[in-house]
Amino acid sequence: MGLMIDGIYHAEDPAPDTTQDGRFQRQKATIRNWITREGPFTPDPGRYHLYAAWNCPWAHRALLIRVLKGLEDTITVAYARPRRTADGWVYDAEGAFADPELGVTALHQVYAKAPAPFTGRITVPLLWDRHTRQPVSNESADIVRMLNDAFPGPDFAPGPLRESIDAWNARIYRDVNNGVYRAGFARTQAAYDVAVAELFDALDEIEAHLADNRYLVGDVFTEADIRLFPTLARFDVAYHYAFKCNIRRLVDYPNLWAYAREIHAMPGVAETVRFDIYKQGYFSPSELRNPLGIVPAGPLIDWSAPHGRGQSAA
């Protein structure tokens, strides 16, 4: 993944992803403006453009809140090509992987338009403001919350539930969303053993919780569910194999598997899911994980099977 230092893009990232003992350590997002009704970034229809990638789970969060809030006509999207190059996330001149907004060929060209010379990883999602001609945010958690709060539509983080939502978000982020990466990018056996154990402890806990609760926060579908779903959608087709998260599959968890299928069946959600692209991305050539870049044919999983959980809440 490329890095920009003082506004200059570097294809070779000099900043290590792992600690000395082999643990994966995710870098923090650094563009964190906020959309509010008071400004300077206000929730105006047609003002914002989202840079995303189908195979990125962090971008998937933003795509989910966009469709669940009914913002498809309010916020446009440019999808990067499934596989990064030396230029990082890149775009075609036209077609499904083009950027109709700025016509860039690489995402780092958008980061270069930040008011101050940008230093950091070139990541998706990135929310762009047409009015001020600058990036607004590259923190997926902030984008989900601000789109929920600033724009009309269903409220997926109601005030009385926010403490519970935030507690679930913290647990899910550390041990599930980022947990699969801590396992997959571990550089030592000890680091992997810790990460994979914590991942499956969390999945076991969620499985037990869903035996008595329809969603993470009781019977209300919330932001916490939105943030969990991208990892579940990629689990069996990518993380189980490519990241060695193979103690169990998602389909081996009766409650979690039904819960994931229910979310997938909610209006608009299936259109944010691309299993074929997930495999292209996660099984792209990697010296450490997949030297030959061979993409597996399977697994064959029926996400359209009835989930048996009653009327969908979204």
Q: In this structure, what are the phi and psi dihedrals at residue 169, rounded to the nearest 5 degrees?
A: -55, -45
56 is catalytic: yes
DSSP structural state of residue 198: H
Structure tokens at 261: 């299928």
Residue at 67: amino acid letter: V
Q: Which of 56, 215, 239, 245 is catalytic?
A: 56
Q: Please, what is the Cα angle at 191 between 186 and 195, to 5 degrees?
A: 85
Q: Give the N- to C-terminal CA distance of the chain in Å, as an integer.
A: 35
DSSP states along 199-230: HHHHHHHHHHHTTT-SBTBBTB--HHHHHHHH
Q: What is the C-alpha separation between 268 and 63, in angstroms, rounded?
A: 10
Q: Let me know: does 135 contact 128? Beta carbons within 8 Å.
A: yes
181 is catalytic: yes
Q: Which of 111, 181, 192, 239 is catalytic?
A: 181
> How many other C-beta atoms lie within 10 A of the C-beta of residue 44?
15
Which residues are catalytically annotated?
Answer: 56, 181
